[in-house]
Structure 1
Amino acid sequence: MILSPFEWTIAKRYMLPGRGEAFIALVAGISLVAVSLGVAALVIVMSVMNGFRAELFDKIVGLNGHAVIQAYGGRLENWQTVLAEVRATPGVVRASPLIEQPLLATFNGRVEGILARGNTPQDIARLKPSLKAGTLALLRPGAGQVAIGARLAENLGARVGDTITIINPQGRATPFGTVPRQIGYTVAAVFEIGVYDYDNAFVVMPIADAQTLLLSGDSIGMIEVKTTDPDHVGEILAPLTRKLAGQAVVTDWKTINAALFEALSVERVAMFTVLSIIVLVAVFNILSSLIMLVRAKTRDIAILRTMGATRRSLLKIFVTAGFLIGALGTVAGLGLGFLFLFFRQNVVNAVQYLTGQNLWDPSIRFLSELPSRSDPVEVVAICVMALVLSFLATLYPAWKAASTDPVQVLRYE
């Protein structure tokens, strides 16, 4: 919609009401602020929700793989053969043997439940970006060295160089009953993945040490698999599932974390719907301000009509005046939203300091910090929605202005 110089001049005049129209200007300003706050709220919440899902996916799937292959009974005896078959499957990027077993750990009288995790040297090396203290190079088979999560280290009061005792209830049988197996391990490294449950429980060791601790011989617990496309992991591993039927079960990340990611998806839709109402309320403010503007400018509209202004021109003038309020509010909302996201952790820390409340408890939120990841498609959709609603809100007042009968208005002037 292209405006002529005359139409643009009148539109600018109506967007900046005079001193006698301060109330109209106030309502228009409130409309602009409301649109910007609505757009900012949508951008912030959707980016945080996307970031939360992406961070959880990256950390959970990055540590556990896209799928796990576990034998019935928990022990995979012929794992070398199965591992070779998995690696030969098209679409599989990486396959690694893995042992995971819930046990107990003690240090200086403190006892914590742990998840003992036996990994290959290649998998242990992938913890390097998450390393907080110590070195992973000491985690060699038979060295008696382990890496533990940062939260677990805090709970036990253990540091690098300390010796923790891991207790396996399935110990050796003696004439006096079963004696739990207790082995001391030196803490060689402390890591922080960023997922509270992992940092609070994981004790990583070479897979040979885990087999010795669990008295499992040469068997392993499972094989973790990473594929080329996590969203189609089921289709990629379908031939392997049929081949291992009756021997082992293949479980992908969607099944393992189904409840968590389904809850996040539902929450994203619910939050988008609820916050869209803010934009809708702002649009009604634009509608009301334009209606008041048309009422205040009825005489001016009649004079413009007598001077030759067409209905189409008046329609374009008032649509432009209202639409620009929505457009400026949308741009301001984008700027405000991205500014908040850039300083999001500082904002959370400031609110926590002022209120004295812990707003981001890692034990509840899973992640250590407030995440954010903006989706360009969603940002564009939010902007388009705000602009379309703003445009629709201008149609009725603009139509009323264009329908003004100058004869009726100026009859008693």
Structure 2
Amino acid sequence: MILSPFEWTIAKRYMLPGKGERFIALVAGISLVAVMLGVAALVIVMSVMNGFRAELFDKIVNLNGHAIIQAYGGRLDNWQSVLEDVRGTPGVTRASPLIEQPLLASFNGRVEAILVRGNTGEDINRLADKVKAGNLPELRTGSDNVAIGKQLAQNLGAQVGDVITIINPAGRSTPFGTVPRQIAYRIAAIFEIGVYDYDNAFVVMPMKDAQTLLLTGDQIGMIEVTTNNPDRVGEILAPLTRQLSGRAVVTDWRTINASLFEALAVERVAMFVILSIIVLVAVFNILSSLIMLVRAKTRDIAILRTMGATRHSLLKVFVTAGFCIGAMGTVAGVIIGFIFLYFRQPIVHLVEILTGQNLWDPSIRFLTELPARSDPVEIATICIMALVFSFLATLYPAYKAASTDPVQVLRYE
């Protein structure tokens, strides 16, 4: 829609009402602010939801892979040949043996439930960028060194260099019953993955040490698998699922975390719909301000019509006036949204200080910090939606202005 200089001049004049029309200007300003806040809320919430899902996915998958092959009974016999078959499957980029077993750990009278993970040296090295204290290379086979999560270290009151005792209830048999197996391990490193449940429970050690602790010999419990496309993991591993039927079960990341990711997807759609209604309500303010403007300018419109202005010109003038309000509100909303996202963590801390409430409890939110990840396509969708709503809100007032009969108006005024 191209405006002539005359039409653009009139549109600018109507976007800035005069002194006698300050109430109309106030309503127009409120409309702009309402659209701005609605768009900003959509940008912020959708980016945080995307960030929450992406961060959870990255942290969970980086630690557990895209799928787990778990043996029936917890012991995978002849696992070396199975591992070779997995690595030879098209689409599989990495496969490594894994031992995982819930046990207990004690230190200075404190006892915590833990999840012992026996990893290969390559998998242990993947934690290098997560280490907060200590030296990860000290986790060598036979060294009796372990790495533990940051939250678990806080719960036990332990630091790097301290010795914790890991208790395995499946110990040795005696005439008086089974005596739990207790082995002391030195804490060589403390890591923070960023997922509360992991940082609160994980104790990582070399695989041979885990086999010794659990008395499993050379057996393992599972194989973790990473593929080149996490969305096609079921299709990629389908041949393995058939091959291992009766010996092991193949479970992908969607099944393992189904309830969590489904809840996030539902909440994401619900938040988008609810916040879209806020934008819709905001553009009704544009509608009301334009209606008031048309009523206030009825005599001016009639004069313009008698001077030769066409109905189409007046239609474009009022559509432009209303659409510009929506466009400015949309642009301002996107800018404010990105500013909020950039300073989101300090803002959360400020609100916590002002309210005295813990707004981001990692034990509830899974992640230690508020994440955000903006999707350009989603941001463009939000902007287009706001602009379309703004355009539609201008049509009725613009039509009323264009249909004004100058003869009837000037006769009675």
SS at match of 1:137: helix
SS at match of 2:330: helix
**Separation in structure 1 between the aligned mates of residue 171 and residue 292 of structure 2, nearest angstrom:** 83
- Cα deviation, 1:166-213, whole Å, max 9, x if unaligned, reads 000000000111000000000000000000000000000000000000
Residue 355 of structure 2 corresponds to: 355
TM alignment of 1:251-262, pairs within 5 A: 251-262=251-262
SS at match of 1:359: coil
**Separation in structure 1 between the aligned mates of residue 397 and residue 137 of structure 2, nearest angstrom:** 73
- Cα deviation, 1:134-190, whole Å, max 9, x if unaligned, reads 111110111100000000000001100000000000000001110000000000000
SS at match of 1:52: helix
2:19 aligned with 1:19: yes
TM alignment of 1:13-412, pairs within 5 A: 13-412=13-412
**Separation in structure 2 between the aligned mates of residue 109 and residue 246 of structure 1, nearest angstrom:** 43
**Separation in structure 2 between the aligned mates of residue 51 and residue 412 of structure 1, nearest angstrom:** 61
Amino acid at match of 1:12: K
**Separation in structure 1 between the aligned mates of residue 135 and residue 240 of structure 2, nearest angstrom:** 37
**Separation in structure 2 between the aligned mates of residue 47 and residue 93 of structure 1, nearest angstrom:** 30
Amino acid at match of 1:251: T
Deviation at 1:246? 1.1
**Separation in structure 2 between the aligned mates of residue 249 and residue 193 of structure 1, nearest angstrom:** 27
**Separation in structure 2 between the aligned mates of residue 178 and residue 148 of structure 1, nearest angstrom:** 28
**Separation in structure 1 between the aligned mates of residue 289 and residue 306 of structure 2, nearest angstrom:** 25
Deviation at 1:412? 3.1
Amino acid at match of 1:56: L
Deviation at 1:77? 1.5
**Separation in structure 1 between the aligned mates of residue 71 and residue 333 of structure 2, nearest angstrom:** 53
**Separation in structure 1 between the aligned mates of residue 355 and residue 402 of structure 2, nearest angstrom:** 53
- Cα deviation, 1:213-247, whole Å, max 9, x if unaligned, reads 00011100100000000010000001111111111
Amino acid at match of 1:358: N
SS at match of 2:113: strand
**Separation in structure 1 between the aligned mates of residue 79 and residue 271 of structure 2, nearest angstrom:** 45
**Separation in structure 1 between the aligned mates of residue 70 and residue 43 of structure 2, nearest angstrom:** 41
Aligned alpha-carbon RMSD (Å): 0.4
TM-score by length of 1: 1.00
SS at match of 1:96: strand
**Separation in structure 2 between the aligned mates of residue 232 and residue 295 of structure 1, nearest angstrom:** 59
Runs of at least 5 residues in structure 1 that lack an aligned partner in the other structure: none
SS at match of 1:132: strand
- Cα deviation, 1:253-308, whole Å, max 9, x if unaligned, reads 00000000000000000000001111001110000000000000000000000000
**Separation in structure 2 between the aligned mates of residue 348 and residue 115 of structure 1, nearest angstrom:** 32
Residue 7 of structure 1 corresponds to: 7
TM-score by length of 2: 1.00
SS at match of 2:217: coil
SS at match of 2:73: coil
**Separation in structure 2 between the aligned mates of residue 19 and residue 212 of structure 1, nearest angstrom:** 86
Deviation at 1:373? 0.1
SS at match of 1:369: coil
Moved over 3 A (4+): none
Amino acid at match of 1:221: G
Runs of at least 5 residues in structure 2 that lack an aligned partner in the other structure: none
**Separation in structure 2 between the aligned mates of residue 177 and residue 390 of structure 1, nearest angstrom:** 77
**Separation in structure 2 between the aligned mates of residue 118 and residue 77 of structure 1, nearest angstrom:** 17
Is 236-245 or 321-330 further displaced after alignment? 236-245
SS at match of 1:259: helix
**Separation in structure 2 between the aligned mates of residue 78 and residue 70 of structure 1, nearest angstrom:** 13
**Separation in structure 2 between the aligned mates of residue 245 and residue 200 of structure 1, nearest angstrom:** 34
- Cα deviation, 1:39-81, whole Å, max 9, x if unaligned, reads 0000000000000000000000110000000111111021001
**Separation in structure 2 between the aligned mates of residue 100 and residue 245 of structure 1, nearest angstrom:** 22
Amino acid at match of 2:266: V
**Separation in structure 2 between the aligned mates of residue 70 and residue 13 of structure 1, nearest angstrom:** 72
Amino acid at match of 2:335: G
